[in-house]
Amino acid sequence: MALLEVRDLHTSFFTDAGEVKAVNGVSFDLDRGKVLGIVGESGSGKSVTVYSIMQILAPAGKIVSGSIKFDGQELVGAGERVMRDIRGNKISIIFQDPMTSLNPTYTIGHQLMEAILLHTDRNKEQAWDRAVEMLKLVNVNEPEKRMKQYPHEFSGGMRQRVMIAMALACEPDILIADEPTTALDVTIQAQILELMQQLQRDLGMAIIMITHDLGVVAQMCDEIVVMYAGSYCERGTADEIFYDPRHEYTKGLLRSIPTTGTVGQKLQPITGTPIDLLNLPKGCPFAPRCDAAMKICIRQAAENMELSSTHKASCWINVERNARDLGASAMRKAQKVGMDLDDAADIAKALEVGGLGASVLSAEVHAARVEEELQDARQQAAMEVREAGADVLPDGDIVGDGALMQSREKGNRISGKRNSAMRNKKPRKGGKR
Amino acid sequence: MAAQGNDAPLVEVRHLKEYFPINTGFFKTTPLKAVDDVSFAIRRGETLGLVGESGCGKTTVGRTILHLYEPTDGVVVYDGKAVVGPKEKVDIDKFATPADGGSLTGNTLSLNEYRTKTTMVFQDPYSSLNPRMTVSDIIAEPLDVHKLCASAKEREERVLELMNRVGLNSEHASRYAHEFSGGQRQRIGIARSLAVNPEFIVCDEPVSALDVSIQAQVINMFDELQEEMGLTYLFIAHDLLVVRHISDRIAVMYLGKMVELADAAEIYDRPLHPYSKSLLSAVPIPDPKIARANKRIPLQGDIPSPLNAPSGCPFRTRCQYATEACAATMPEFKEVEKGHFVACHRTAEVNS
């Protein structure tokens, strides 16, 4: 069982203008000792997701449905008493802005000791020692002297260290870091990230890292959740997300960031602007900005498709890819029974187009039908071959990679000219029967 | 993009200093040396990136070049002419070179004229637009100030042309800034800065406040405008990947001083100053395999207060190579290789 299980979380803000669906069906698991990154633009609901976990939403915000299980214990509807025991003790949070998240009227020491006194049975003296120890842990020089100082006497990087010390004082199982380094310079950011990594290794806690900086995610995270307009697009290991993105939004994000490889070239931005959460569309929220949007994307939001045991994406493009794979395998089979390549390609095309126009189900039905046709064709061909007096076809794979490549290429071309293909769909020629 | 045109600099900054008086006691002020003796040149049509940590003086350099702050000392030479404000008392001849004929007096550019050729795009698209003005008034303000439009009709046409150029709809003209998203606001700011048909634009962190996907749109627009209008940019940013993407050359600043200046590719592949090395190694690379293998050169401590800057080289307190010589004198900002300037006493040892 995972340490934290979030299932189909829906959080809304009830404003005068209407219900703002800030989080729309987010699910993820977090295991002990892992770093999970939540990535997305501003307004994508990443902060609201973790605020929902901590239940520190603004008064207008409410968890509408879903489940959040921490160590098997349900937190949704658990009540303030339970949450008070969890917050700062089992799950801690570091906020984005170190300048405003410390109280300017209390000393650093007072603020550090507060959490310790609240959650442990240490007395004041022991709490002081523990606080000093924590400051040492996060590399604050002269911790005893620093304890008596006020936040304004600290630089931004130092304040963020204090925030981390405060969050870690009770040895939480989960540390939530909400854009912990956005307000900091790169050199300080590197120090803080390294510190977090080291503490995570030493203390064995899990981290949820919220950020819009893909560089930070690449460096820190084992697993990544990509969010857009309150829904999650994709979830997978860092390598899966960066090297094999399966949602058009993730792909767009990765294309739009400058890297050393983009020098002298145009960046490929995602067109348009983020969507208005008050009027979410019926279909995929990203469809209005998506270059690869299909008819189905506007009609219906894609469900969560499992691509591997760790990789999930909600994007119809994967069905297309699926259909293309089916098409390719159909072609291979057709080749096996000696079907004319052009005819096979037509079947493959019809399969793809059919798959796209309708839904997954119809693609599968289609695939099955083609499979049947192919069976027939195979028997037919085998008969013909027998009649011609030759031996029965060898059962091995007689089609080389060349034909497969060709069919893939064809598939790609088709998907590029998808719309025109749909309009000018040729009547399908029958196979050699 | 490569620098076009000849090598003659469009903007030349010579020994620029900008000190702000800070009250440090009763009747006592201490100068805060925000920019301390900075010299560089920007060629026509190129983009010079300016990077550094917050508080290093990069924004002050940008603003002082445009004389938004009156320089404490030093001179900005624009297209061969010294820029002089109406009340400025800096002795500009002190900075004349043989190329200027030994004197800059009599070869000056008034501030008013200078500001029809240079403009600025500000960092924060939220606070840099007046909430009480409509978009068309915001964009037309430079036109009104410099009286560049003869009639109301011409003004309107110009505004629509500018809005069109930055990808805004003409029906947006009568709206107010709060009705727009961050990216669109930044487009309004850019349209405003283009109104006077400038040659040189100081872009002060123009994309820092924007989301990644919008950021790419705005960066591309800067690229396109440069190609179409032959603009020259000073591009100030702390996001080093963005700077690398857009700049031809990059300058690194630390605590009011320029420590390194070189071609963008050169400075990324082979930084010579220990601070640049550390800064560049700290950039998180958006690629997990590279990021995991990346060896960061750690930098201890925080940037010192500019009120209380270390003697000699400002970086010595955090530099692992620092010696006594570094504490004694400020290293000269000199050209160690063609086009590669570094201010470090120990360039040779650091890079051996």
CA distances from A262 to A118, A208, A244, A428 (A): 51, 30, 19, 43
How many CA atoms, within 13 angstroms, populate the side-chain half-sphere of residue A115? 26
Return left, alpha or beta for B255; rule: phi > 0 is left, psi -120 to 50 is alpha, else beta: left
Rounded to a whole number, what is the distance in Å from the CA of A76 to chain B's nearest CA?
31
Helix (H, G, I), strand (E, B) or coil at A225: strand
Side by side, the strands of the sheet bearing A206-211 are: A91-94, A174-178, A206-211, A35-39, A223-228, A231-237, A312-313, A305-306
Give phi and psi for A275, each to the nearest 5: -85, 155
A216 inside 8 A of chain B by CB: yes
- In chain A, % of residues over pLDDT 90: 34
Cα–Cα distance measured from residue A27 to residue A16, given in angstroms and rounded to the nearest whole number: 28
Tokens representing A189 are 């950011």
Cα–Cα distance measured from residue A160 to residue A173, given in angstroms and rounded to the nearest whole number: 20
- Residues sharing a CB contact under 8 Å with residue B340, sequence separation 6 or more, in sequence order: B260, B261, B262, B263, B266, B267, B272
* Radius of gyration in angstroms for the set of CA atoms belonging to chain A, rounded to a whole number: 28
**pLDDT tens digits, A188-211:** 888 888 888 888 888 889 999 999
B338 inside 8 A of chain A by CB: no
CA distances from A180 to A51, A136, A161 (A): 15, 19, 10
Q: What is the pLDDT of residue B134?
A: 94
- Residues sharing a CB contact under 8 Å with residue A126, sequence separation 6 or more, in sequence order: none
| Test the A interface: residue of B169, B211, B267 with most A CBs within 10 Å | B211
- Residues sharing a CB contact under 8 Å with residue A171, sequence separation 6 or more, in sequence order: A203, A205
A158 inside 8 A of chain B by CB: yes
Q: What is the pLDDT of residue A328?
A: 65
Q: Which residue's structure tokens are 């700290």?
A: B282
CB contact under 8 A, B217 and A157: no
CA distances from A150 to A59, A157, A158, B63 (A): 30, 15, 12, 33
Of A372, A378, A398, nearest in space to A337 by CA: A378
* DSSP-assigned letter for residue A88: T
The length of chain B in residues reads 352
Confidence of residue A9 (pLDDT cuts 50, 70, 90): very high
Confidence of residue A385 (pLDDT cuts 50, 70, 90): low
Cα–Cα distance measured from residue A45 to residue A229, given in angstroms and rounded to the nearest whole number: 7
A139 inside 8 A of chain B by CB: no
CB contact under 8 A, B268 and A190: no
Tokens representing A193 are 């990230």
In one letter, which amino acid is A38? Answer: I
E strand or H helix that includes residue A423: helix A418-423
Total Cβ atoms within 10 A of residue B9: 18
Residue A424 burial (C-beta neighbours within 10 Å; 0-12, 13-18, 19+): exposed
Q: What is the pLDDT of residue A334?
A: 61
**Looking at the partner chain, which of A41, A215, A256 has a beta carbon nearest the beta carbon of B284?**
A215
- Residues sharing a CB contact under 8 Å with residue A416, sequence separation 6 or more, in sequence order: none
Q: Is the pLDDT of residue A225 over 80?
A: yes
Q: What is the pLDDT of residue A337?
A: 59
CB contact under 8 A, B279 and A270: no
CB contact under 8 A, B299 and A216: no
A261 inside 8 A of chain B by CB: no
Rounded to a whole number, what is the distance in Å from the CA of A209 to chain B's nearest CA?
15
B242 inside 8 A of chain A by CB: yes
**pTM of the predicted protein model:** 0.79
B215 CB neighbours in chain A (<8 A) are 256, 269
Q: Is the pLDDT of residue A422 over 50?
A: no
**A353/A277: higher pLDDT:** A277
- Residues sharing a CB contact under 8 Å with residue A413, sequence separation 6 or more, in sequence order: none
CB contact under 8 A, B241 and A267: no
* DSSP-assigned letter for residue A388: T
**pLDDT tens digits, A89-125:** 899 999 887 778 899 999 999 999 998 998 888 999 9
Give phi and psi for A83, each to the nearest 5: -65, -35
Cα–Cα distance measured from residue B257 to residue B18, given in angstroms and rounded to the nearest whole number: 11
Q: Flag the least confident range among A19-33, A307-321, B111-125, B131-145.
A: A307-321
CB contact under 8 A, B284 and A266: no
B 144-183 near A (Cβ less than 8 A): 181, 183
Cα–Cα distance measured from residue A112 to residue A133, given in angstroms and rounded to the nearest whole number: 11
Give phi and psi for B175, each to the nearest 5: -90, 170
* DSSP-assigned letter for residue A73: E
Extract long-range pairs of B170-175: CB within 8 Å, 24+ residues apart.
B172/B135, B173/B134, B173/B135, B173/B136, B174/B134, B174/B135, B174/B136, B175/B134, B175/B135
Cα–Cα distance measured from residue A187 to residue A267, given in angstroms and rounded to the nearest whole number: 26
**Looking at the partner chain, which of B53, B211, B303 has a beta carbon nearest the beta carbon of A212?**
B211
Averaged pLDDT of chain A: 79
A277 inside 8 A of chain B by CB: no
Q: What is the pLDDT of residue A120?
A: 86
Give phi and psi for A281, each to the nearest 5: -75, 165
Which of the listed ranges A35-39, A381-385, A403-407 does the model predict with the highest average pLDDT?
A: A35-39
A258 inside 8 A of chain B by CB: yes
Q: What is the pLDDT of residue B253?
A: 95
Residue by residue, pLDDT tens for chain B (352 residues) are: 444 445 678 999 999 999 999 888 888 888 889 999 999 999 999 999 999 988 888 999 999 999 999 999 999 999 989 998 888 778 888 888 887 777 788 888 999 999 999 999 998 888 899 999 999 999 999 999 999 988 999 999 999 999 999 988 888 899 999 988 888 999 999 999 999 999 999 999 998 888 888 889 999 999 999 999 999 999 998 888 999 999 999 999 999 999 999 999 999 999 999 999 999 998 888 899 888 888 888 887 777 888 888 889 999 998 989 999 999 999 999 999 999 999 999 998 888 8
B 14-73 near A (Cβ less than 8 A): 53-54
B278 CB neighbours in chain A (<8 A) are 187
What value does the mean pLDDT take over residues A248-277?
85
Contact present, A23 and A228 (Cβ < 8 Å): no
Q: Is the pLDDT of residue A426 over 70?
A: no
B307 inside 8 A of chain A by CB: no
**pLDDT tens digits, A61-76:** 999 999 999 999 999 9
* Radius of gyration in angstroms for the set of CA atoms belonging to chain B, rounded to a whole number: 21
Helix (H, G, I), strand (E, B) or coil at A64: strand
CA distances from A202 to A33, A143, A168, A195, A206 (A): 10, 21, 12, 10, 11
**Looking at the partner chain, which of B283, B286, B302 has a beta carbon nearest the beta carbon of A186?**
B283
The C-alpha angle with vertex B165 and arms to B162 and B166, in degrees rounded to 5, equals 95
